[in-house]
Chain A
Amino acid sequence: MKTAPSAPASTAKIAVRDLSMAYGNFVVMHDLNFEVRDKDIFVIMGGSGCGKSTLLRHLIGLLEPKKGSILYDGEDFTATDPAGRGDFIRRFGVMYQSGALWSSLTLGENIAMPIEESGDIPANTVRDLVSYKLALVGLAGYEDYYPSQISGGMKKRAGIARAMALDPDILFLDEPGAGLDPLSSRRLDDLILRLRDSQGCTIVVVTHELASIFSIANNSVFLDTATRTQGALGNPSELRDHSDNPAVRLFLNRGDTPPSPS
């Protein structure tokens, strides 16, 4: 970090500085540097297996970086002892790739559990909150269904409802559109946009679905498998035509010969 840590960091919701991620001695990605602004929909994109989900797991503290730091609102997350990260984690909402709903609980209980555990909340309030969150994602009335009884798209939406349970500041979505039909995937994109606009949270999305990327993202980072570091940073629609990295243009043009940057 060359600049003074406090001044520039305060403008960004999330700031990633010189982040290197590794499994043992195998370096997945090195020297990542990017910032996510408040109320952005920020997309982490890249080819399959390039480390997108690994980066997400670093951002939410499930994995420890090999080097570098992650700052939330200018406060260093990675330097905080894992036991003392409660204040950070309470502001996160995470939807996992498969939904990761607790399979022994109904959808209602899945959403109620974080709410109940967050304090002494009257049962009526909890019930109303649960049905409100389910209604937000279009699953009104599904309280008593178990995760095994609903489809993949519904699981993802229920996963989002659970991630939104505690009105998070930052919502992390891991491959929301993967494995869904085009219409469900589109509806999910609309949901993400509307949640950002009405709920006012910052959203970080891991995806490689081009249609989604162009319709929701206003900022993005491209992880390049070949160089094992970030290939580009910026609005994906602009990167598609104007990135100076051919790999980025190739990716965003679905492998068609990219026009040279103008």
Chain B
Amino acid sequence: MEKQGKWQYNLLRKKVHRPLSRKTALPLPAERNVASADPLPPRAAWSHDGTDATLEISGDWRRDGPEVEITGDAPAQAPARYQVDSLGSYDSTLPAFLLARFRAVTPSPADSDDAPSFTGLPDNLRGLLELALAVPEESDTRNTPQVSSDLRKLGKISLQLWASVSGLANFTGQSVLSLGRFITGKARFRSSEFWLTLQQCGIDALPIVSLISFLIGLILAFVGNVQLANFGASLFVADLVGIAMVREMGVVMTAIIMSGRTGAAFAAHLGSMKANEEIDALRTFGFDPFDFLVLPRLLALVLMMPVLTIYANIVGILGGMLVGFFVGIEPELYWTETLAAVDLTNASLGVIKSVFFGAAIAISGCMQGMKAGNSSAAVGEATTRAVVASITAVIVLDSGFAAIFTLLDI
């Protein structure tokens, strides 16, 4: 039904546009005002003769013209006849106006047995209106405002929340199963896909990770130095930058970069594969899309995140060292101080976290991609959701780790 409606709309537009471009071809009454330089304002006037109503239409009806002036009282039924003697040129606005008037008084023409009468209208207008009324308006296709109460909203939100939590748990569980199949050698995927993903989320990410972590090290050192210099303890900038980088900043910044970079790429790639039925095609060849698409991405990111984190830590410390050099700390001294402050426990905390962050980013990205809808807009939405979900997951996990490490006193 909906398709039919659209088809008619196109036909209507086409038919009206054609006579508009060739004004002389309009089969209008003889004394009409042919395309005068000054278009007359469109007018509609109701007149009543007993129970019958007449609608007189005059002036030029144009999309870009002035608004229509309506005089007289609109009757409760459709006009019995139309009067078009002083009608000028017109485009779709006139049939649209007439159709709206007609619909307002006869909501569903299908109910009445009489064919709608358009006495007095030019042939082409009558044809267009009959075409528009040929199929009755589908009553349940329009958006109806829903009755909304706070309780209903709360219920809706709870259900959505539950659905997304159980969806996440389900997907994580499937990832673990898939990992199990990989370990036992049963999972099948293309090794070239794995190596390509490894490159994309490893080496290709180095420039941005270098820049961000160098600047973060720089900023930490600047801010720290302003405070520590007050106590004459500038040297402790090395401790501050070292511990902050290896425990928190290195891994968190890398995770956020990878969320925006790789998580989004996973979601967009898998989402457009879904929209293009490519995932169905995998399934009908007996490939498990989970093993084939999610597993190599998960493995690649989980492998690369610790490497990137260690790299980010070192670059950040170098950034701090540069600031230290400008405020008068010799690089050798800075390095010795950093080594003294950062022990292996501290250094390993960030790396341990990075494994979990990598898994969280890969799972969020792949999950949003795999459950994306089948349109281009849906792929965009999936990408947005993937970035939001993975950054949220990283920060929430990090808070959890902070609590655990505090409890364990490390």
Contacts and interface: CB of A to CB of B under 8 A. Distances in A.
Interface of A is mostly: loop
Contact of A60 (B3, B273, B284): B284
A211 B286 CA distance: 34
Nearest to B285: A114
B96 interface: no
Given A48-B3, A89-B286, A92-B284, A98 B276 contact: yes
A103 B285 contact: no
Interface string B275-288: 01110111111110
B278 A86 contact: no
Contact of B278 (A49, A61, A90, A102): A102
Nearest to B269: A104
Nearest to B2: A49
Given A96-B280, A114-B285, 7 more contacts: A60-B284, A62-B284, A96-B277, A100-B277, A102-B281, A103-B276, A162-B281
A202 to B, nearest CB: 16
A117 B286 CA distance: 10
Contact of B280 (A90, A100, A103): A100
B376 to A, nearest CB: 13
A218 interface: no
Interface residues of A, number: 23
A192 interface: no
A103 B273 contact: yes
B81 interface: no
Given A86-B286, A117-B287, A94 B281 contact: yes
Nearest to B281: A100
Interface in A223-247: none
Interface in A130-186: 162, 166
A92 B118 CA distance: 59
A54 interface: no
Contacts of B276: 98, 100, 103
Nearest to A85: B286
Interface centre among A86, A114, A162 (most CB of B within 10 A): A114
A49 B3 contact: yes
A90 B285 CA distance: 7
A100 B283 CA distance: 12
A96 B287 CA distance: 16
A97 interface: yes
Interface centre among B188, B273, B276 (most CB of A within 10 A): B276
Interface of B: 3, 188, 190, 272-273, 276-278, 280-287
Contacts of A48: 3
A113 interface: yes
B159 to A, nearest CB: 15
14 contacts: A48-B3, A62-B283, A89-B286, A94-B281, A94-B284, A96-B281, A100-B278, A100-B280, A100-B281, A101-B281, A103-B278, A114-B285, A117-B285, A117-B287
B391 to A, nearest CB: 26
A97 B3 contact: no
Nearest to A83: B288
A62 B285 contact: no
Contacts of A103: 272-273, 276, 278
B185 to A, nearest CB: 15
The 9 A-B pairs with the shortest beta carbon distances in the complex, nearest first, are A100-B277, A100-B281, A96-B277, A94-B284, A114-B285, A89-B286, A100-B278, A102-B278, A86-B286
Contacts of A96: 277, 280-281
A102 B285 CA distance: 12
Contacts of B280: 57, 62, 96, 100
B191 to A, nearest CB: 11
Nearest to A165: B285
B379 to A, nearest CB: 13
A62 B283 CA distance: 8
Given A48-B3, A100-B276, A103-B273, A113 B281 contact: no
Interface centre among B3, B190, B285 (most CB of A within 10 A): B285
A61 B280 CA distance: 10
A166 B273 CA distance: 22
B186 to A, nearest CB: 12
Contact of B277 (A90, A97, A166): A97
A230 B350 CA distance: 63
Contacts of B272: 103
A174 to B, nearest CB: 9
